[in-house]
Structure 1
């Protein structure tokens, strides 16, 4: 028994229950870790070539584990196989395989010896050539059959021929010819197309290994009604598997679809509205929605409603009432399913950087626009550079200690640019035009700079040696604005 210790040291992971992955119909022994599990039952499961399995009695009480190669009783001689299951699960597998309690059960002789393995390998190497030659013999005898596989017994005294035939075949003459040709005991076993596909193996359209080659033992007949219940198109190329029969997976979800269809109205019922008559077109069985059309043959003026809404309209029609529309309660959600890969972009980080750079460039090169006036041609910095000196000296004066607190103004950048443009236009006007121009009452500006006659008088004294009388009047008019 091989163990794998976990990294944290809390326990061990046993691989005794696992088997070889190349074996078909592999069974996981989930009771392998229980102490004394193998000793409780003397029955073991032995697998031979492909999917052939047998159940044997360990009468000699050999310490067998999963994966051991043993020699078992056969008629005549002995056969070589691999132990695939031991312990308490073997009776459950026998019950699943419909083996009766009073059936004859053969014994396990011993674990395989090197001499047994040499005979087994020699017999196995003759299987392919025997199959090719037996096909030629069957064709010469004119038999309508196909020999799909040949399996030699472990001691080489017997050969099993697996064949497929649509009708009953009389192969008595074939057995005589094969026995003379190969000098072994011949056994013919007929199999179906699904069993042949399970023996050969392969990958299905779902991308996984075939169910018949991995876990299926009993093959239930599949009919086209299973496809009709699931609203699958009856295309034989899509419904058929590698065995040229209907896929076994059609039976997996039939019960769920039949249960959901009971909650939908009949396909023959029509819905009467003020706009017209609607006929059944298609349905999403699992979602519970139905699509109706105004024409029986093709889709026209489609309307998708829930089953609940359809039953409401049916009841209204029975009472002699007709609704205006079908979609009064149900609103079809046209939102596409979200794709995580579609939402993300490989250049999403580059876009964020470029957007920041673009915003900076736009802020620097944005033209000055007036709300309701012509756009200015100079940016804010140039407009502030052309301001008169008295305005700049007034702004640069030191603040008074007892100056009342200024209320906060909610000015935007656009207000600053507009005022700068107005100052630029008034810089070139004469003093007479400025006095004749109507005074504008700017509430924000008055709130920001409250009137103070004493402050204006001190300012005129400081600027008397530098500016003229007209310039001081200009400063007063700007302050009034």
Structure 2
């Protein structure tokens, strides 16, 4: 069972895992290899290759002899022979014929492999190895404090304990030689172990510590890069990069190793670019080189005092350059039509990234504001829209009722509402009457158009005026109109109605 950060899915044991999920050995996620021969059946008389590749903390890998023919698989913990005595604990990284290929790549002969594998790591070996790894962090900080007390110009970057807790290797970086004999004495007295000091470079330090590069990925030196080649500033010049040390330097403080990745492609493209063509002489004047596209094989020139650039293909530039060597000056560079490359083939899938506009939320807010404005225009001051109740647009809302003089509760009906046609009365009767006052001194049939008469009801002849309402009865008690409803919580007005009864004409 491996830790959560293992890319191999169980390449290391829980003993090599911290509580935060990072691997102590750094072997489960660094310089991993793929055994592409593992699924192949070997011949019957095949004798397995006895050399095993074992990886330790950081990028350190070594070869060991498997004299006892112990069956080992990739990722298992094994106890191996140490260089200065004792034993060490590491992970098996490769077995079989791939180990032979790795030895050829690293120029290691089979006869030079002397150290051997003791056994598979037992529970006691794993516990001891885990306790040794837990001491590394505290040991490194104490050793740094001792180096500062001695004013040594060195930087202790990492500490590696041996599996049996008998030896510790200190890795440091320094610009020059450092006399650390006094430091070793103090560290031996403090930690009570054997001390080994090993100086490494900046790139090796970044490889051991790891990190994230400016590209957003893990450092190449800590994942797959094993041999470090020199990187010069000429690699940046050939690629037309700005010589900015902040952008060209990596985590180690040196030039990035990735500057060499595409250098060969640029060198091949530069073979076709003519040299020493900074100026082309013509009768119009001297044209200076402004820009070069080595992959499109185009060069841009401009005359002094002019802002426009004239693009020329490489073939045309070579012709003008040869004419200048022969003493011939052409009239002008000419207007060269640049032939654009054919458009790329449209793929059958859609790119859905970036389809949503950044201002899509603002557009929705603006649309909502417009809708609210339109609603406010259609509404009347009372807050009720005309279309809300299904009324026609030309029908007027009832006016606010004013109390009649001489009576605090009775209100007079407007004249316009009293002369409304009989045909529309049925529609009005279906609505709650509210505080509608009794009609006084005017029958209902007066002033009605003849074509809009209400159908006969209860044997009353058509055109006969209805009896005046409220005669001899207070309004709201026993009224013949069933559609008229009394308003809830309406005060009793019998006294006022008895005093003011409508008089028939």
Please give the TM-score of this superposition, normalised by the length of structure 1.
0.63
Q: Find the aligned partners of 2:146 and 2:77 in 1 and give their Cα distance.
A: 34
In the alignment, is the contact (CA less than 8 A) between 2:11 and 2:76 conserved in 1?
A: no
Structure 1: runs of 5+ lacking an equivalent: 1-14, 348-481
1:29-67 CA deviation, whole Å, 9 max, x = no partner? 111112239953111110111211111111110111111
Q: Find the aligned partners of 1:168 and 1:202 in 2 and give their Cα distance.
A: 27
**Equivalent residue for 1:326, pick from 306, 329, 333:** 333
In the alignment, is the contact (CA less than 8 A) between 1:305 and 1:327 conserved in 2?
A: no
In the alignment, is the contact (CA less than 8 A) between 2:150 and 2:183 conserved in 1?
A: yes
In the alignment, is the contact (CA less than 8 A) between 1:267 and 1:280 conserved in 2?
A: no
Q: 1:346 to 1:135 in 2, by over 3 A?
A: closer
Q: Find the aligned partners of 1:249 and 1:306 in 2 and give their Cα distance.
A: 30
Q: Find the aligned partners of 1:345 and 1:25 in 2 and give their Cα distance.
A: 40
1:449-468 CA deviation, whole Å, 9 max, x = no partner? xxxxxxxxxxxxxxxxxxxx
1:317 CA displacement: 3.1
| Residue matched to 1:27 | 33
Q: Find the aligned partners of 1:294 and 1:100 in 2 and give their Cα distance.
A: 65
Q: Find the aligned partners of 1:251 and 1:233 in 2 and give their Cα distance.
A: 16
Q: Find the aligned partners of 2:230 and 2:53 in 1 and give their Cα distance.
A: 27
| Residue matched to 2:79 | 71
In the alignment, is the contact (CA less than 8 A) between 2:280 and 2:321 conserved in 1?
A: yes
1:98 CA displacement: 3.5
In the alignment, is the contact (CA less than 8 A) between 2:8 and 2:28 conserved in 1?
A: no
Q: 1:299 to 1:264 in 2, by over 3 A?
A: farther
Q: Find the aligned partners of 1:53 and 1:182 in 2 and give their Cα distance.
A: 27
1:345 CA displacement: 5.8
**3-state SS of 2:140 partner:** helix
Q: 1:16 to 1:200 in 2, by over 3 A?
A: closer
**3-state SS of 1:76 partner:** coil
**3-state SS of 2:53 partner:** strand
Q: Find the aligned partners of 1:300 and 1:257 in 2 and give their Cα distance.
A: 29
**3-state SS of 1:123 partner:** helix
Quick check: which has more Rg, 1 or 2? 2
2:311 is aligned with 1:304: yes
1:274 CA displacement: 3.9
**3-state SS of 2:254 partner:** coil
Structure 2: runs of 5+ lacking an equivalent: 1-6, 13-26, 358-505
Q: Find the aligned partners of 1:66 and 1:276 in 2 and give their Cα distance.
A: 72
Matches within 5 A, 1:135-174: 135-174=144-183
Please give the TM-score of this superposition, normalised by the length of structure 2.
0.60
Matches within 5 A, 1:453-468: none
| Residue matched to 1:236 | 245
In the alignment, is the contact (CA less than 8 A) between 1:17 and 1:29 conserved in 2?
A: no
Which is richer in helix? 1
1:268 CA displacement: 4.3
| Residue matched to 2:394 | none
| Residue matched to 1:255 | 264
Q: 1:133 to 1:266 in 2, by over 3 A?
A: same
In the alignment, is the contact (CA less than 8 A) between 2:323 and 2:329 conserved in 1?
A: yes
2:291 is aligned with 1:285: no
**Equivalent residue for 1:60, pick from 65, 68, 89:** 68
In the alignment, is the contact (CA less than 8 A) between 1:19 and 1:26 conserved in 2?
A: no
Matches within 5 A, 1:75-474: 75-295=84-304, 300-326=307-333, 328-331=335-338, 333=340
In the alignment, is the contact (CA less than 8 A) between 1:46 and 1:83 conserved in 2?
A: yes
Q: 1:89 to 1:240 in 2, by over 3 A?
A: same
2:51 is aligned with 1:43: yes
- Please give the root-mean-square deviation of Cα atoms over the aligned residues, in Å: 3.1
Q: Find the aligned partners of 2:68 and 2:8 in 1 and give their Cα distance.
A: 22
1:324 CA displacement: 4.7
In the alignment, is the contact (CA less than 8 A) between 2:54 and 2:92 conserved in 1?
A: yes
**3-state SS of 2:39 partner:** coil
In the alignment, is the contact (CA less than 8 A) between 1:71 and 1:79 conserved in 2?
A: yes
Number of equivalences: 331
